[in-house]
Every structure is written in structure tokens, then in C-alpha cells.
Amino acid sequence: MRGELKSITAARGLAALAVAFFHANASMNFMGGATVPIFSLGENGVDFFFVLSGFIIAWVHGGDIGRPQRAFDYAAKRFIRLFPILWIVVGGWLLVRLAMGEVQQNAVGTSLLLYPSLIKPAPLVVWTLRHELVFYCAFSVLIIDRRWGETLFVAWATLCLVQVVLSILGSPLTGLSAFFLSSFNLDFMLGMIVAGAHRLFRFKNGMMPLWIGLAAVAGIMGLREMLGGGRLGMLDYVSTGATIWTLALGASFALLLHGLLCAEDLMSIPRPLLMLGASSYSLYLAHTALNSATQHAAILLPVVASQLFMVAAAVIGGWLLYSRIEKPLAGFLRGMLKRHRAQAA
């Protein structure tokens, strides 16, 4: 596999779309409108995002591992990807909400800087990005020193698995420790494992691994819903739903990711899906703000149509934000980075 992995780009878009459906449904519930139960499964798009993120970082920067001279370049690229559009969207949201008295001031720092915290950020979707940043920092250790990085990830994975066992036994570690020992961290590592496997081995092209992955995801989701094993809330890190079931779902998404890679050369990805994938970060950041702007109109529509209306507004708004602001801004900053490298050379 060479060049852009179109199936992965499309998967990012679909994961963001799933989360948008979940929050559109939540908005209708908040407004007292009718909800669609199946849309609540869109919450699991977050788990897929984490697995995809682990894969993408390991796939793109796997060649940087053990090469400390690449650490600055890696950090700069991660900063450009994560923070500029975050500061624009979240900064604007915070200003509005602070003026309305709806955001605690202690949420400002963790919302803009993404440092680990159990404080609810604003908008709420930013909570996932705190996990992203911790993972990015951990991966930088692999780049600076391979041995220390491998030791860190082995120890981290072991402690996260211990937390799963403690959760099953009813005595998990709580507080900020639970954040660092969350099973979401294992999602990133599962994505890294898939990337490493596809770097080391040549898997046969075929659709069967994809069908197996889809069946695994559907099976785990269905079993979890049947047994009531869902997470108890956004900042729930210690229930069995947030530990063992998150791990199981992450493993099923890793199988799905493997299936997508095996089917990469056999699928024709529609251009709209690629566009959706390209704008997935802007869509993810902005969709809850766009929900707030459209939910009063959406409530006048019949069930399903209201959710579709809000999701369509979020997709269009996310694409405009990406094409007009995120993409040109990132291009400008990457150009500055390239000139810096040239001057250093």
C-alpha cells in the first residue's frame, strides 16, 4: 500500500459522522423532541477515532522511531494538526459561553491547552483530544529513544490492563489516575499494532477480513447493549463499561481497521466520503456548536428529519470550516516549517 490510504480517510469521515448523529440525537432529547435509538450508537465513533489515530501516527511516523533528530518535526506537525483550528473554534465557543455565564472559568485552560483533567471542557467533545495529546507525547518518547519508548508503552499497556482487572473486581483506581489508565489508551495501542503488522507482513488482499471486522463490531455493540455494558458518562473511566467493554470494542475496531487495509485496493471510495474524511476534524470540533445554532429549527421537523437536518448543517459547516480556514491555515504553517527546515539545513 502506497500513497494515501483512501479507506482510512473515509473511515475518519464516517467516525466523525457517527459522532455527529449521536449529538444530534442528544440535542433532540435535550429539546424534548423525539429521538432515534440507533443514532445513540454513534457515540462509538470516538472509539474508532482512537484506534484510527494510533494507526495513523504509527503508519506516518513509524520511520521516525529512534531518530531523535525527527522529534521537532514530529512535534511541529502534531501542533499544526491539533491546535490552530482548535483555538479558533474552541476560543470562539468559550467567549460566547463565558459571556452567557454557561462555562466555568477553570474549564478554559484544559479546553484550549488539552492538559489532562477531569474537568468538563467546552465544548464537551474536546475531552477526547486530551487523550490524543497524551498519546502524541508518549509516541514522541519512541522517536527520541526507541528503547525508552518501548518500555513506556509496555508499562503503560500493562497498567491499563491491570486497571481493567481492578474494574472487574470492583476496586479500580479513581481520580486523575483513571484518566491515564483508561482503556481508551489501549485503543491507540491497538491501532499501532495494526500499523506495525501491516509494515512487517504482506497480507493478502480480500474482502473477508473486512466482513469479519464488521461482524465483530456489530457483535460487540449488540452484546454490550443487550447486557447494559455502556459507559456511564463522558468522564466515566472506571466502570466495566468504560474498561472491559471499551477494550473489547477497541479490539473489534482494530479488526475492522485490518479489514479496511486488506480491502484498500479492492474498493472504490466515493469522492464525497473522501471530502468528509478530509474535513473530519473540523466537523468533529464544530458540530456541537452548529447543533446549538440549528436545534430550535430542527425541533419543528418530524423525527429522523430533525437529526438529518442538524447533521447536514454540521457536515456543510465542517466542510466550510475545513476548506476556508483549517486547510489554508495548516498549509501556511507547514510552509513556515518547511522554510525553517531549509534554513536549518
The pLDDT tens digits of the residues spanning 296-339 come to 999 999 999 999 999 999 999 999 999 999 999 999 999 998 98
Query: 307-344: buried (b, 16+ CB within 10 Å) or exposed (e) per residue?
Result: bebbbebbbebbbebbeeebeeebeebeeebeeeeeee
Identify the three-state secondary structure at position 153: helix
Q: Which of 276, 266, 269, 257 is nearest to 214 (CA)?
A: 257
48, 253 in Cβ contact below 8 A?
yes
pLDDT for position 1 = 52
Q: Which of 198, 185, 165 is nearest to 250 (CA)?
A: 185
162, 152 in Cβ contact below 8 A?
no
303, 36 in Cβ contact below 8 A?
yes
- pLDDT < 50 regions, the chain: none
pLDDT for position 64 = 96
Residues 6 or more apart in contact with residue 9 via CB below 8 angstroms: 269, 273, 274, 277, 278
What CA–CA distance (Å, rounded) separates 301 from 303? 7
pLDDT for position 106 = 80
Backbone angles phi, psi at 13, to 5 degrees: -65, -45
